[in-house]
Amino acid sequence: MKKEKAVSLRNWHLSISLDRTTTVSLHLQLVQAVINEVRKGRLLPGTPLPGTRKISDNLGINRKTVVQAFEELLAQGWIETQPRRASFISKKIPLFERNEVTLSEQAPFPLSLTESGLEAYALSVSPVTPSKLQFSDGVPDTRLVPFDVLSRAFRRALLISSRANRLAYDDARGSESLRSAIADMLRLERGMSVTTEQVCLVRGSQMGIYLSAKLLSKHAGCVVMEKLSYPPAREAFESFGLDISYVEQDDDGMSLDALAQICEHREISAVYTTPHHQFPTTSMLSLERRIRLLALSEKYNFIIIEDDYDHEFHFSHKPMLPLASMETAGRVIHIGSLSKILAPGLRLGYMVAPEGFIQRCGREILLIDRQGNAVTELAVAELMRNGEMKRHIRRALKIYQQRRDHAVERVRQTLPMVQFTIPSGGLALWLRFANTLDMNTLQTDAEGLGLSVLLGDLFSGEGEKTHALRLGYANLNEAEFEQALSCLSSAVSKQCQ
């Protein structure tokens, strides 16, 4: 069990009640109450206690009574004092005196959630300690965020929101100003015919996937995904009891021949895909396959959930427009993220779909978290309107392209036996190793050298061995990348000796 840290009570009220009808004196009741709180584990060793004056005011008793209680606790060794500072729960309380009572780690009732690999994935992509290196799944470098610009936008948003009384409950679909700004961006830059009413704000693309899964779960049919795909999306569909069928993929993306075969034998409710930079392999769905996917969607009446992953980070040429720009029958649910452009911690994404579907999403959001952060949404809307968002993307894009080129060159030099395709964009490489290499041993050896890596097996929906790993380079500067690559090279060399 993780050891809890002591928290100061100076800004909080002690939840202690005194009984004025009993014959036990008030100061002894207070003494016993503090001892009970310590034994139950609610007051931890080292916890600073409020001052005697504050306790007397809170409990409505004479300050001398509190002082008397503190003197008794001090004499018994339950608290200790420091001159001109405060009184603290003693750090020297004998173990036999403490009887911690905590909530059970196991729920006393059955849970419907099934065990999955989602926790392993979340743990793998979580930030590591500063002393440890990590090849992430492809996250941006938050050090590139223009914090001065961002802070000014947040300050103005907070002022405007408070003065205009916009900090109350609002539209569950998100602020109209940001939904309108997103609709404008999608029309002008991504060729999509979209109105403000067809946009719903979410706390990152994962929430959009989750909402789509929930609303689709009421329809018959399975969900189709690539064999190698985004684990949290897979888990979202499975959490609502949706059956998943998997198809192969290659350098041109999802196999449409395999999808067509499934369509002939099974009813399909949706196809989930990351066509722009396929996660995790970085391939792009070709134009020919996009056209065929839309045709199959119309023929077999299924929805396409388009996760527009890393659309902004495209290096070599003008990016291919989204599937949603090629379709007018409302069969595409388009999901995008603004968090990744700025910082994942901002938790901001969007969904684009027919207006009726978006209204349903709004009703579901009312049941989840009511609405997003009004200040964040207003601040980001301003950054989109005044061009700061676009300027940041251009600056970051140059740096990420330099990092990609450096990563490609150095991987080729350091690991010549590794196969990979240079991605036209995105924030990661997909490295394929020889089948003779033990990837689990590689991961263990890399961990021993202080490097965390993501094995390709983690992305396999059917649990197949991949002999690959996803190497996120964007969050590392050149010096950090060199250090991480050196660790990876050493781990590989260990098996080749």
Query: Which CATH number is 260's domain given?
Result: 3.40.640.10
Residue 196 DSSP label: G
Average pLDDT of span 448-454: 92
Does residue 96 have a pLDDT over 50?
Answer: no
CATH number for the domain harbouring residue 70:
1.10.10.10
H-only helix segments in 191-338 = 205-216, 231-239, 256-265, 287-300
Q: Are residues 158 and 293 in the same domain?
A: yes
- Choose one of 352, 387, 422: the last residue of a domain: 387
Q: What is the pLDDT of residues 176-221, one digit of tens each?
A: 999 999 999 999 888 889 999 999 999 989 999 999 999 988 887 8
Q: Of 354, 387, 420, which marks where a domain is finished? A: 387
DSSP letters for 47-62: PBPPPHHHHHHHHTS-
Number of domains into which the chain is organized: 3
Range of the domain at 81: 26-89
Does the residue 113 lie in any domain? no
DSSP run (H or E) holding 177: helix 176-190
Judge whether 10 lies within some domain: no
pLDDT at 419: 95
Model pLDDT, residue 8: 47
Residue 199 to residue 334: CA distance in whole angstroms: 10
Contact 42, 52 (CB under 8 A): no
Check if the beta carbon of residue 349 is closer than 8 Å to that of residue 336.
yes
| Residues 156, 270 share a domain | yes
Same domain, 131 and 168: no
Same domain, 307 and 402: no
Q: Which of 333, 367, 387 is the last residue of a domain?
A: 387
Supply 294's token pair: 């839309």
Please report the pLDDT score of residue 64 as a whole number: 92
The answer to whether residue 168 scores a pLDDT higher than 90 is no
Q: Is residue 407 part of a domain?
A: yes
Give tens-digit pLDDT for 422-441.
Answer: 998 889 999 999 998 999 99
Q: Does some domain include residue 296? A: yes
Q: Is the dihedral of CA 392, 282, 291, 269 positive or negative?
A: negative
Please give the Cα distance from 340 to 204 (Å, whole number). Answer: 9
Let me know whether 219 and 279 are in one domain.
Answer: yes
Query: Do both 177 and 288 map to the same domain?
Result: yes
Q: What is the average per-residue pLDDT within 273-284?
A: 93
Query: Tell me: the pLDDT tens digits for 43-70?
Result: 888 888 888 888 888 888 899 988 898 8
CATH number at residue 490: 3.90.1150.10
Cβ of 310: how many Cβ atoms within 10 Å? 25
pLDDT in tens, 319-360: 788 999 987 778 999 999 988 887 778 889 999 999 999 999
Same domain assignment for residues 218 and 334 = yes
Identify the pLDDT of residue 7: 45
On whether residue 8 sits in a domain, the answer given is: no
Whether 42 and 154 map to the same domain: the answer is no
- Asked if 385 and 459 touch (Cβ cutoff 8 Å), the reply is no
What tokens does 19 get? 């009984």
Q: Return the higher-pLDDT residue of 357 and 91.
A: 357
